[in-house]
Amino acid sequence: MKELDNKENYNKTFEDIKHIDENEIEFWYARELQSVLNYKEWRKFENVINKAKESCKNSDISVFDHFVDVDKMVQIGSGAERKQKDYKLTRYACYLIAQNGDTRKKVIALAQTYFAIQTRKQEISEKEYSSLTEDEKRFYQRNLTKKGNYSLNQTAKNAGVKNFDKFHNAGYKGLYNGETADDIAKRKGLRYREDILDNMGSEELAANLFRITQTESRLKRDKVDTEKKACDTHNKIGKIVRKAIKQAGRNYARRIAYTKKEFKTIRKRK
């Protein structure tokens, strides 16, 4: 399969292999996802699926709700058929598979971004999200980011983090090419103590949310137990997200013109 060269084409491919069942619920077949993610051997791809199922189980989420075994009859020549194993996957299952995939593959990084953002959108319906204004999308993503940061802080604390400014700046440096939170605030022209997250567009917030959720997942999965390792992990995840964004041809590091006052106005309207 020819490797595609931009995020829009990847997203179109992921959407092209999406199926809708009789209850209008979306799903993906693992065999088709295997092809898009450039895994030539089912055996190797099933290893990734098994890791994803384990991640699902460790999160206290029902594996059977997201990874449904299905058998297909396929022709093997001369009219003969044999049974072929497959899975019906939810969007969340695809997200976990992308998390556990081979990070050396460019398509894996793009799949991680795509399914992470789309999975978050599923907390409201696709139709509802797409009908929101940019300000409303910002409000929605900001709330998710706030919740994500709270959860990340609890995990980081358990990992031995005491200097949370240092920990969070490690993540920002990775995502923003060496910039700390103060550097980002200065570049955006913000006043003292003005929250940088209140001054981001919906896509930039989504990128930060992905950094946050992936860092928390990695801290837990790797059983990180020192502040230094936690900071290194956060920085590494930030760089991975930045690389995926760069490959997608986006520039989330541009200045966002919103002010905190405008954000508060949006919040009151809600």
SS (H, E, C) the chain: CCCCCCHHHHHHHHHHCCEECCCCCEEEEHHHHHHHCCCCCHHHHHHHHHHHHHHHHHCCCCHHHHEEEEEEEEEEECCEEEEEEEEEECHHHHHHHHHCCCCCCHHHHHHHHHHHHHHHHCCCCHHHHHCCCHHHHHHHHHHHHHHHHHHHHHHHHHCCCCCHHHHHHHHHHHHCCCCCHHHHHHHHCCCCCCCHHHHCCHHHHHHHHHHHHHHHHHHHHCCCCCHHHHHHHHHHHHHHHHHHHHHCCCCCCCCCCCCHHHHHHHHHHC
Q: What is the pTM of this model?
A: 0.52
Q: What is the pLDDT, as a whole number, of residue 270?
A: 42
Can you list the residues of the chain whose pLDDT is less than 70? 1-12, 23, 77, 116-127, 248-270
Q: What is the pLDDT, as a whole number, of residue 112?
A: 76
Q: What is the pLDDT, as a whole number, of residue 121?
A: 61
Q: What is the pLDDT, as a whole number, of residue 111?
A: 79
Q: What is the pLDDT, as a whole number, of residue 11?
A: 54
